[in-house]
Structure 1
Amino acid sequence: MTNAHSGLETPTTDHSPSSPQASMASGDISGAAKEKAGTVAGAGNWQAATTLAELGETGRKLVRMNGRQIAVFKTDNGIYACNNRCPHEGFPLMEGTLSQDCVLTCNWHNWKFDLDSGDTLVGGDKLRRYPARITGDGVVELDMTEPPQHQQRDEILSNLDEALHKNDYDRLSRELARLDQIGVNPLEAVKKAFALRMDRFEFGTTHAMPGAADWLAYMQELTDPYERLACLSEVLGHIAWDSTYHPVYPFTPSVIPWSAGDFSNAVEAEDEDIAVALVRGALDAGMTWDDLRPAFARCAMRHYAGFGHSVIYVSKVSPLLAALGEDALESLILPLTRHLCTVTREDLIPEFRAFHVVRKDWDEHVGQEPATRDDFLGRAVARVLSRVRRSAGDPLACYHALMEAAVWQVRHFDETVMYRTNMPIGTNVNWLDVTHAMTTAQAVRELATEMPELWADGLLQIGCFIGRNAKYVHKDGDPGNYAANAGIDWDGDSETILGNLMRSHVLYHGCTDYIEPVHRLKTISMVRSELAQFPDAPWRKDMLVAVHRYVRSDFPRRRAVRTAFQSTTFVGQD
């Protein structure tokens, strides 16, 4: 994205010295101002802007120089000049209020700028100021020298931390546009954001990381500069959302020589400090993600953990590193290590204990009995996993049968479950519970194709989803006759169907949170990937119908009455 936003304001980097933009001696300016003015005079791109006479009546004047609108103010402390457009939303600062102590207020939203120090007192973005001086004949000159690109870049990137901390989406988008305006790759801001916030995710990696991988991949398909910027803004906004107002949860600085076995043991013992110290040892030794990926993948697969999140998170590191560069590795895998050490392990609860029962004597009973979708549907978890084992001798064929079952469940999900109010907490399910079966399945396939020894654990994880979700689907028929009524030629080009869905319900999502659009994004991205890999798969049409129905459906995130019912019931049982 190069020079995509040429209409935006020049970056608000202040390159003047710490002294005010006072000018040289003048009968209209105090002696103190003369002294301070002398510290800013010197070499530079000085250009005539106005005269003291023109400033005399109102003490301010709007001038146009080098394609910019610049507000010039005459005060008791000297001459000050700044961009006329407020860095917040562009309203004219010439119409602002200037106090005796040189604080300029934008009257539209009450942002305040100290023209003497350059500080933004109320608001966020920095205001670009210009050194000023007065010649002997009363001409006011401004130094229009542009700061070097690296200086502007460094200041913009340094402003990110405050914007991230305040979860200021609009400012994050403006800072990205400013980087683009000066010809710096805005991906530097994404890399910086992960580095700044990696220790503010209490439980490690969140959906902000895999979401970033998918947003950046989608951005590469787009040509419209504003849509491309929107993808980047969603990435930074999600990082901010997941870390806003969180304290620092420091990672241990200790370093231990890398050992994949020791790392596995530390993760299993939930010993984050040892696991992180081992990762630091690997990084110090110059190891890459390709070196570490097998160990992380094995840890993610070993448990049915976080309802599939661990497997998805590990699978998304590679594409994100491909976009950001290997120097982003530390800021991605330290939170991932924390996640693996703190993630819930659902295979330890009664519903999913069959995971380890079946896995324990896997080699003794694994078979190549062909399986179909119907062999997995409508069965409890234990029966699904037992059937997986009998078919896993041909892992890819078993994968296809499981994927087809997962797709069927998404297509037939009973949406009324989300609206019931008299349900126990354990049945609080929504679209994400059923779609996670598909997205986890894709991550399993990618990792197990690279490391075939992971197929057993991965297929069982998919099976856990199929067994759990059996309770939340319509048993027969097509809900609402969706396939027929959607007005889609399901036998047509899948890229057209999915591309339209991506634009209308992901890029232009209109959601107030980040979970909903990022889940839409990752689900559509998964479908595109799987259909590209298996264009003739028997589940192709069902998958298109399923994802289309999901993405276009309501997604209630907060159920007030249900929460009240469950709270009352829970407290009453105490």
Structure 2
Amino acid sequence: MSQTDSNFQPAVPLDDLRASGRELVRVDGRAIAVFHHEGEVRAVDNRCPHMGFPLTEGSVEDGILTCHWHHARFELSCGDTFDPWADDVQAYPVEVRDGTVYVDPDPPRDEPPAEHWASRLEDGLEQNLRLVLAKSAIGLDDAGVDPTEQVETGVRFGTQYRQGGWGPGLTILTAMANVLPDLDTNDRRRALYQGLVQVASDCADQPPRFEQESFSARDLSHERLKSWFRETVEVRDADGAERCLRTAVASGASEAELAEMLVAAGTDHRYLDTGHTMDFVNKACEALDLIGWEHAESVLPTLVDGLTGAERSEELSSWRQPIDLAAMADDTFDRLPDLVAAGEGEEWTEPDDFTDRLHSDDPEAVFDALEGAIQGGATVEQLASAVAFAAGKRVAQFATSNEFSDWNTVHHTFTYANAVHRLSRRTDATELYRGVFDAAVNVYLDRFLNTPPAPIPDRGDSEADTDALLDDLLATFDTEGAVNEAGRLTAHYLDAGGDPAALRERLGSGLVREDAGFHTFQALEAGFTQAGMREESEERRVLLVAVARYLSAHFPTRREREQTFTIADRLHRGEKIHEAD
């Protein structure tokens, strides 16, 4: 007997199969559906690849096998599906010998698993299929494919097939990619799935982007292109701005120079689109850090529509009445070169009371604190870090007596401040000081949401059971409104010497099982980022309390996406889902 013949195993007597038309057999532990149809013997995996329903319970007509649960149809001889949302079913070679049907339970694959799931990932994005995206995230990870490849696929798709450009979906995908090191293995899969689902949803029913071309000139200076870019954004000329930005990329502008162009245009007006515009700029740059800056030509131009179409906060009454904050900012920015010059050669150390000064009820005190810091040599990064902490503390002390929607107000300030801080590590452009002031003004405007402030939890028992505290923390996410308890458990876990990495893992686990919204994904990633950049343990404590309180305020959800992921995971692991399987 040849090596090929030796793979075949006896399955069912041919006469029995003719009589019944179908038989469920087990060969080498596999549940296989064997059919006698139109004089031929066919065999396929008994589990419908869509959601595991037993195909022996289906029907066969004209060479088509139909699953009765969701009516997925398969070409019986090869297993290929008529319905892309269902996947192809595994077909098995058969032979008839001496009145017995033999089945090869381990035929060679048409393509390696990594190639198969990469192709299915594309299908899931194109057709906005959650179950396919879940299966792909699991299958690619199981095949040992680097998560960055999934991120790259999602970024390439999202930047090409969303006319509006960079949006929440790509931001969520990038945020989840950033926190992957904080999660356990299965939650990393969930995080990628969550991000890919959001990209697919953002692009569903959207027309694709049609790109402008760069200028043919390649000898334009960085300063000239930067000036043109700011001018075209100023007058809301998206086409012209895109050509300027594409030319800078094509001319070989450095990452820092490209970031400088974007932050300069992004801070020529105040707090664009409640901070989302700058957060998108930051996330686009972080996405390029993940997938490679060789993709800048396709990624960065997707930011242009957001820059040119953004709402400008100096046009809002909150920035003009009862105090003209926009005018105060303009006055400071007119003097910014002199302030920076005065601080040259100086080294600034953040005063102990600096957060309290940024939380002042007097905007002049806030401006004075920032201006004095610049004159004292404070870099953009130092000030951005200080303001980001002040913004995070507003979240940690958000009073639950406010309207629920007000969580978004303090959240927007924090994620904007985080974006400015992150960008300050990418470029030292003087214009970015304006982003620091924008964030600080919003910290000031948010003061009423801390009236009275929720107290930062008192110190907990240093001998407390840290495992129990983590379990209790996750349990609070099952109870609506357990905001203060979530904050207390987080603080007391750290007070008891709990491992911050284990805390981040548990908070991340709480997030990725939920039908979380855009802001909740942002809140966790920004909080983790800021906490990870702090040397002071008390600052880390405050920021992680902020994360826990924000998550708790927005949980529990229906967890529909988690149900889909669980089905995909069980199918991938070969678990029995239906009794007849």
Match of 1:417, SS state, is coil
* Cα distance in structure 2, aligned partners of 1:449 and 1:324: 19
- State the partner residue of 2:258: 292
Partner secondary structure for residue 109 of structure 1? coil
For each residue in 1:289-341, what CA deviation from the matched residue of structure 2 results, as whole angstroms up to 9, or x when unmatched?
A: 45533322333333321222333333334543343344544443232233323
SS of the aligned residue for 1:104 comes to strand
8 Å CA contact retained: 2:413, 2:442? yes
Instruction: Give the C-alpha shift of residue 77 in structure 1.
Output: 6.8
Contact 1:59–1:75 (Cα < 8 Å) also in 2:
yes
Structure 2 match to 1:245? 205
Question: Match of 1:297, as an amino acid?
Answer: V
Instruction: Please tell me whether the aligned partners of residues 201 and 249 of structure 1 are also in contact (alpha carbons under 8 angstroms).
Output: yes
Of residues 348, 352, 358, the one that matches 2:332 is 358
Cα distance, 1:513 vs structure 2: 3.7
CA contact (8 A) 1:63 1:71 kept: yes
Q: Which residue is equivalent to 1:34?
A: none
Percentage identity across paired residues of the two chains: 23
Q: Which residue of 1 aligns with 2:536?
A: 535
Question: Residue 555 of structure 1: CA displacement?
Answer: 7.0
Within the alignment, does 1:458 sit opposite 2:435 as a pair? yes
1:49-69 alpha-carbon deviations (Å, 9 max, x no partner): 656445212222334456643
**Aligned-partner Cα distance in 2 for 1:408–1:227:** 28
Unaligned runs of 5+ in 1: 1-42, 420-428, 558-574
Query: Matched residue pairs, number?
Result: 499
Letter of the 1:412 counterpart: Q
2:395 maps to a residue whose letter is V
Change (3 A) 1:449 1:230: closer
Question: Taking structure 2 as the reference length, what is the TM-score of the superposition?
Answer: 0.73
Q: Does 1:395 align with 2:371?
A: no
Corresponding residue of 2:394: 409
Alignment of 1:12-411 (within 5 A): 47=8, 50=11, 52-65=14-27, 68-76=30-38, 78-98=40-60, 100-115=61-76, 120-121=81-82, 124-130=85-91, 132=93, 134=95, 144-149=107-112, 153-222=114-183, 224-252=184-212, 256-257=216-217, 259-284=225-250, 289=255, 292-303=258-269, 304-352=271-319, 353-354=326-327, 355-364=329-338, 372-379=354-361, 384-385=366-367, 387-393=369-375, 394-396=377-379, 398-399=383-384, 402-411=387-396
Aligned-pair distance for 1:236?
Answer: 0.8
1:535 partner amino acid: E
Q: Which runs of 5+ in 2 are unaligned?
A: 219-224, 320-325, 459-483, 558-581
Q: What whole-Å deviation, never above 9, does each CA across 1:537-573 have from its counterpart, x for those lacking one?
A: x74554444444333334799xxxxxxxxxxxxxxxx
Q: Amino acid of the residue matched to residue 486 of structure 1?
A: R
Give me the whole-angstrom Cα distance separating, in 1, the residues matched to 2:361 and 2:247: 46
**8 Å contact 1:191–1:328 — kept in the other structure?**
no
Q: Offset of 1:434 from its aligned partner?
A: 0.9
Which amino acid is 1:395 matched to?
A
Structure 2 residue identity aligned to 1:252: Q
Once superposed, what is the RMSD of the aligned Cα atoms? 3.9
Match for 1:240: what amino acid?
A
C-alpha change, 1:186 and 1:409, in structure 2 (3 Å) is: closer
Change (3 A) 1:554 1:218: closer
Q: 1:199 touches 1:251 (CA, 8 Å); kept in 2?
A: no
Contact 1:279 1:334 in 2 (8 A): yes
Is the 2:263–2:432 Cα contact (8 Å) retained in structure 1?
Answer: no
SS of 1:489 mapped into structure 2: helix
The 2-side partners of 1:361 and 1:287 are apart by: 29
Instruction: Name the aligned partner's letter for residue 523 of structure 1.
Output: A
Deviation at 1:48, TM superposition (A): 5.6
Secondary structure of 2:398's counterpart equals coil
Change (3 A) 1:496 1:96: same
Evaluate the alpha carbon distance shift between residue 499 and residue 241 of structure 1 in structure 2; reply closer, same or farther with a 3 A threshold: farther
Q: Distance in 2 between matches of 1:170 and 1:106?
A: 17
Q: 1:271 to 1:69 in 2, by over 3 A?
A: farther
Is the contact made by 1:384 and 1:466 (CA closer than 8 Å) also made in structure 2? Answer: no
TM-score calculated relative to the size of structure 1? 0.74
**Which stretch shows the higher mean deviation, 547-556 or 303-312?**
547-556
State how far apart, in whole Å, the 2-side matches of 1:314 and 1:493 are.
Answer: 38
Task: Output one character per residue of 1:475-499: Cα deviation in whole Å (capped at 9) or x when no partner.
Answer: 4672898599825337737873574
State the Cα deviation string for residues 507-558 of structure 1 (Å, max 9, x = none): 4555324324403322331332232xx326x74554444444333334799x
Greater shift, 87-96 or 264-273, is seen at 264-273
2: CA distance, partners of 1:279 / 1:49: 66
Deviates more, 1:133-142 or 1:314-323: 133-142
Quote the Cα distance in structure 2 between the aligned partners of 1:485 and 1:281.
48
Deviations 1:133-177 (Å, cap 9, x if unpaired)?
A: 65686655658121242xx54443333344235543232111222
Q: Structure 2: which amino acid aligns with 1:80? A: R
* Residue 480 of structure 2: aligned partner: none
Instruction: Please state how far the C-alpha of 1:96 moved relative to its aligned partner.
Output: 1.8
One-letter identity of the residue aligned with 1:346: S
**CA distance 1:111–1:372, shift in 2 (3 Å):** same
**1:458–1:159: structure 2 CA closer, same or farther, 3 Å change rule?**
same
Partner of 2:522: 519
Distance in 1 separating the partners of 2:110 and 2:210 = 35
* Secondary structure at 1:201 match in 2: coil
Question: Relative contact order, CA 8 A, sep 6+: which one is greater?
Answer: 2
Query: How far did 1:231 drift?
Result: 1.7
Instruction: Mark the CA change 1:267 to 1:63 in structure 2 (over 3 Å): closer, same or farther.
Output: farther
Counterparts of 2:413 and 2:155, CA distance in 1: 28
Residues 56-99 of structure 1: CA distance to partner in whole angstroms, max 9, x if unpaired? Answer: 1222233445664332222117443322211122222122222x
Query: Residues 284 and 114 from structure 1, CA distance in 2 versus in 1: closer, same or farther, beyond 3 angstroms?
Result: farther
Report SS of the residue matched to 1:184.
coil
CA spacing shift, 1:554–1:221, aligned 2, 3 Å: closer
Determine the C-alpha separation between the residues in 2 that align with 1:192 and 1:88. Answer: 23
Amino acid at match of 1:360: D
CA distance in 2, matches of 1:333, 1:77: 59
Work out whether 1:549 is the aligned partner of 2:549: yes
Structure-2 residue corresponding to 1:568: none
1:447 aligns with 2:409: no
- Give 1:502 deviation, angstroms: 4.9
Contact preservation (8 Å) 2:226, 2:261: yes
Q: Give me the whole-angstrom Cα distance separating, in 1, the residues matched to 2:384 and 2:148.
A: 36
